[in-house]
Chain A
């Protein structure tokens, strides 16, 4: 145990490399301009050469600093965790300061990866190159980090990447009770795989519109979704609930054909999403968790583009777009560029885009995020109208009150598995909880203890 165990990070560096490439290009252009100016204005040979050397050295120094995170090598000794991130951060944390650790996958801004970052709000030290292989370490008490050039600050958690996060977790050898709270994928699989959800059967009056069998998605050693089977009928509103990182967005990406499952099959309106993708996608309307728009187009032009893309007749596309703009209260701003819209307006426009071709199945990832109460009410009413007309709605949300009031059935995801499924009152009965929020908390807490 005396020798240090080294944990480098050599994988998934593409986005970082692209960012560095961008800066390198800019630096190269700027240095060329500086060289040109020196060549033009510095007449004295000695001064000119001196300035050339100075500018070249500065370029090499800055470039070296920028690419240094590529050689990230954290290590673990008997007494300390040694963090090494680029040339800016060198920190040694006593192992008794480490409280817990878990695998995470957090959104990542490659611009921030160039140097260590301190997030003041969350008291977090961020030394991650990508969103893959991330480990979140929690510290027993705030530790002061100093790094160049951002200064630093006190942190109670550290987000970092390692190539082999599971080896890193086991090497940390945290106290046993802590380890139990952060089970690795293999441990969980052995303990309880496959887990049968506490489910009530779906109403069987209507044909299945969205159906998955044994859906599974693995990212390296981490299973984001495990053995998920769903059966949602025509005209049903299904609430897909779960905490952050429960596997909701991964499931949705698989359902809409943006992510290939490691195992399992998905049927949309009777068509296999991966075997007959065009037929399945023709029946699909999708609203992602962030509004995806072409910001230089106006709202009206954006909807016209989507209608055109799906081959809707021009008149029909125009009429539906106008109707949706009116229903979602966007008519007054329909000729303004989408980029000037507020977050909530962008979300509404994204929803209008998904509804334009009157899809049989609507898959929505947090569609009510950022909407004002009046808009949220309108959208919920719209969901009820659509479902009454036969549209199937798969609604991922954190808002349990909305799920309880709007959804016919809900499914609760936790750590990639469906914990429970049924009508809101049925799920409440499972834990004798007064409302869905209490049921959700009780069910997910039970699962933590069982693990």
Chain B
């Protein structure tokens, strides 16, 4: 217990001495109070309704509320606890000190309840305390005692999974399945036999039982849990933490094909494909693509009702989707995202012209692939005639060319040769997020260009719109080219 007391002292002194910690704690506290009070007002209205329907219903609903709150406590508790319990520096230090296993376990428990779950518990306490009014006290007692037990069970479950089940591989998974099925089967059997109580127990009695269990587990049984923690910790220390690179199925064949062409352009394309496909957000982006396509089904009748031609709708939706998904959300700054890695291209036997061309083509290919695929699907969906579909696809390609040139070459103004891009978080911000002034300006220009191109597509017959789009592309390419070249030359001149 002295360790827990010491931990609380450290937290308190940190707050006393560190202004940033005070600021963070203050903001979190204000947010928690705000959220707690807001949810309390909603809950109090709900409780009044339940109360009118009878005491039994009110009790049942409040039990359900507590169960849901405990599920949240368990979920939030699990997040971050794996790292804290097995990989955190503070924890590693704790395991080198001459402490009994129970003390280490209690320290971890104190962190989970007092730090990790603190805000959630505060919000829930405020919500239940204020929301239930005069009947709040026993339910608050039940909720807090239950939360303390749930946090303990989260730790115990984690220790068992890491220390006992994972080392057994598939057999471990089988044991878990058997256990879960047994529990569900047993509970169903008891339910069927009418052996489970038909009414909910009184909250104060249940709370006292839960608190007693917590006391037992943290107190007399603390050594047992501590030993479980030690076993799990030792297993986790032996984990192979080496990372492996993974290539998406199918992509490896494309890479082998592209690698046969020994040109700088294909080298950059291969690199971009590998690099982008390994972003943590790549798969989620691919996963939401079908949803965006389904959204077309909702938007299409609205647009058609305004008298827009089908081909114009398909072109507009496809290009807007590619611009949002393929540029703004995933690669808003093809050159600027390189940072100091552009050095690798600048010291290779490549001219600035080569570098600009390569960056545009490697960027454009992925946009074209996505644009043509989406355009084709949507065109077939609305039943465009074959010739109109082909013209629409050409219009999509022309529009994407202009946008790609604007973003790829315009982003040279976002380039900083001294900016090192290391670590997953920095790579994500630097490569995938539109966060710099230049990127925001490019997005605004991109939307203006998109608007202009859409006006061309909607106002002119498609056959006339294509040369007009080509003319707009020519102007954008010429301007963006000169601007990008000037910036790269300046970078090398100014250092």
Q: How far is the CA of A25 from the CA of B493 in the complex (A)?
A: 31
A296–B275 CB distance below 8 A:
yes
Q: Which of A149, A257, A313 contacts B346 (CB 8 A)?
A: A257
B96 in contact (CB, < 8 A): no
* Residues of B close to A14: CB separation below 8 A: 416
Q: Which residues of B, 1-35, contact A by the 8 Å Cβ criterion?
A: 18-20, 23
Report the nearest B residue to A350, measured CB to CB. Answer: B344
Q: How far is the CA of A306 from the CA of B348 in the complex (A)?
A: 9
* Residues of B close to A258: CB separation below 8 A: 343, 346-347, 417, 492, 495
Interface string of B353-382 (1 = CB under 8 A from A): 000000000000000000000000000000
B275–A309 CB distance below 8 A:
no
Q: Which of B262, B346, B419 contacts A312 (CB 8 A)?
A: B262
* Residues of A close to B279: CB separation below 8 A: 296
Report the nearest A residue to B423, measured CB to CB. Answer: A339
> Given A21-B435, A308-B266, A311-B262, are A256 and B347 neighbors across the interface (CB < 8 Å)?
yes
Shortest CB-to-CB span from A411 to chain B, Å, is 21
> Given A25-B434, A305-B270, A311-B263, are A282 and B422 neighbors across the interface (CB < 8 Å)?
no
Shortest CB-to-CB span from B483 to chain A, Å, is 16
Q: Which of A107, A150, A278, A314 contacts B351 (CB 8 A)?
A: A278
* Residues of A close to B300: CB separation below 8 A: none
Interface string of A269-313 (1 = CB under 8 A from B): 000000001110110101010101111111001001110111111
B436 in contact (CB, < 8 A): yes
Q: Which of B244, B267, B437 contacts A335 (CB 8 A)?
A: B244
Interface size on A, residues (CB 8 A): 58
Report the nearest B residue to A305, measured CB to CB. Answer: B271
Shortest CB-to-CB span from B29 to chain A, Å, is 16
B422–A339 CB distance below 8 A:
yes
Q: How far is the CA of A416 from the CA of B492 in the complex (A)?
A: 20
Interface residues on chain B, size class: 35 or more
Shortest CB-to-CB span from B306 to chain A, Å, is 27
Report the nearest B residue to A340, measured CB to CB. Answer: B243
> Given A296-B279, A309-B268, are A278 and B349 neighbors across the interface (CB < 8 Å)?
yes
Interface string of A245-268 (1 = CB under 8 A from B): 000001001001111100000000
Report the nearest B residue to A259, measured CB to CB. Answer: B495
Q: How far is the CA of A430 from the CA of B340 in the complex (A)?
A: 40
Q: How far is the CA of A14 from the CA of B275 in the complex (A)?
A: 28
Q: Which residues of B, 212-248, contact A by the 8 Å Cβ criterion?
A: 242-245
B424 in contact (CB, < 8 A): yes
* Residues of B close to A250: CB separation below 8 A: 495
* Residues of B close to A277: CB separation below 8 A: 349, 351
* Residues of B close to A295: CB separation below 8 A: 421-423, 427
* Residues of A close to B23: CB separation below 8 A: 149
B168 in contact (CB, < 8 A): no
Q: Which of A131, A149, A278 contacts B20 (CB 8 A)?
A: A149
A337 in contact (CB, < 8 A): yes
B440 in contact (CB, < 8 A): yes
B245–A281 CB distance below 8 A:
no
Report the nearest B residue to A217, measured CB to CB. Answer: B495
Q: Which residues of B, 383-421, contact A by the 8 Å Cβ criterion?
A: 414, 416-421
A340–B242 CB distance below 8 A:
yes
B268–A296 CB distance below 8 A:
no
Q: How far is the CA of A293 from the CA of B420 in the complex (A)?
A: 10
Report the nearest B residue to A346, measured CB to CB. Answer: B422
* Residues of B close to A131: CB separation below 8 A: 418
* Residues of B close to A282: CB separation below 8 A: 349
B266–A18 CB distance below 8 A:
no
Q: How far is the CA of A219 from the CA of B243 in the complex (A)?
A: 43
Report the nearest A residue to B241, measured CB to CB. Answer: A340
B341 in contact (CB, < 8 A): yes
Q: How far is the CA of A281 from the CA of B343 in the complex (A)?
A: 12
B278 in contact (CB, < 8 A): yes
Q: Which residues of A, 171-186, contact B by the 8 Å Cβ criterion?
A: none
Report the nearest A residue to B242, measured CB to CB. Answer: A336
Q: How far is the CA of A311 from the CA of B265 in the complex (A)?
A: 10
B350 in contact (CB, < 8 A): yes
B495–A294 CB distance below 8 A:
no
A26 in contact (CB, < 8 A): yes
B347–A150 CB distance below 8 A:
no
B38–A278 CB distance below 8 A:
no
B429 in contact (CB, < 8 A): yes
A151 in contact (CB, < 8 A): yes
Shortest CB-to-CB span from A361 to chain B, Å, is 12
Q: Which of B262, B349, B350, B418 contacts A314 (CB 8 A)?
A: B262
Q: Which of A18, A25, A301, A313 contacts B245 (CB 8 A)?
A: A301
Q: How far is the CA of A293 from the CA of B263 in the complex (A)?
A: 20
* Residues of A close to B107: CB separation below 8 A: none
A229 in contact (CB, < 8 A): no
* Residues of B close to A149: CB separation below 8 A: 19-20, 23
B101 in contact (CB, < 8 A): no
A431 in contact (CB, < 8 A): no
> Given A25-B434, A296-B427, are A308 and B259 neighbors across the interface (CB < 8 Å)?
yes
Report the nearest A residue to B261, measured CB to CB. Answer: A308
> Given A258-B347, A282-B349, are A296 and B270 neighbors across the interface (CB < 8 Å)?
no
A336–B243 CB distance below 8 A:
yes
> Given A149-B19, A250-B495, A335-B244, are A281 and B347 neighbors across the interface (CB < 8 Å)?
yes
* Residues of B close to A25: CB separation below 8 A: 434-435, 440
Q: How far is the CA of A258 from the CA of B346 in the complex (A)?
A: 7
B242–A296 CB distance below 8 A:
no
* Residues of A close to B414: CB separation below 8 A: 18
Shortest CB-to-CB span from B267 to chain A, Å, is 4
Q: How far is the CA of A281 from the CA of B348 in the complex (A)?
A: 6
Q: Which of B18, B259, B264 contacts A311 (CB 8 A)?
A: B264
Q: How far is the CA of A21 from the CA of B440 in the complex (A)?
A: 8
* Residues of B close to A294: CB separation below 8 A: 271, 275, 341
Interface string of A317-360 (1 = CB under 8 A from B): 00000000000000001011101100000000000010000000
* Residues of B close to A296: CB separation below 8 A: 245, 274-275, 278-279, 427
Q: Which of A257, A312, A337 contacts B243 (CB 8 A)?
A: A337
Interface string of A213-233 (1 = CB under 8 A from B): 000010100000000000000
Q: How far is the CA of A284 from the CA of B343 in the complex (A)?
A: 13
Closest 5 CB pairs of A and B: A308-B267, A22-B435, A21-B437, A282-B349, A296-B278
27 pairs, A vs B, C-beta closer than 8 Å: A15-B416, A15-B419, A25-B434, A25-B435, A150-B19, A257-B492, A259-B492, A260-B495, A278-B350, A281-B348, A284-B347, A294-B271, A295-B422, A296-B245, A296-B278, A297-B271, A301-B274, A305-B267, A305-B271, A308-B259, A308-B264, A308-B270, A309-B264, A309-B268, A335-B244, A336-B244, A340-B242
| New A-B contacts (13) at CB < 8 Å, excluding given A253-B495, A305-B270, A310-B349 | A26-B435, A217-B495, A256-B347, A258-B492, A260-B495, A277-B351, A278-B349, A286-B347, A297-B271, A308-B264, A308-B270, A313-B262, A336-B243
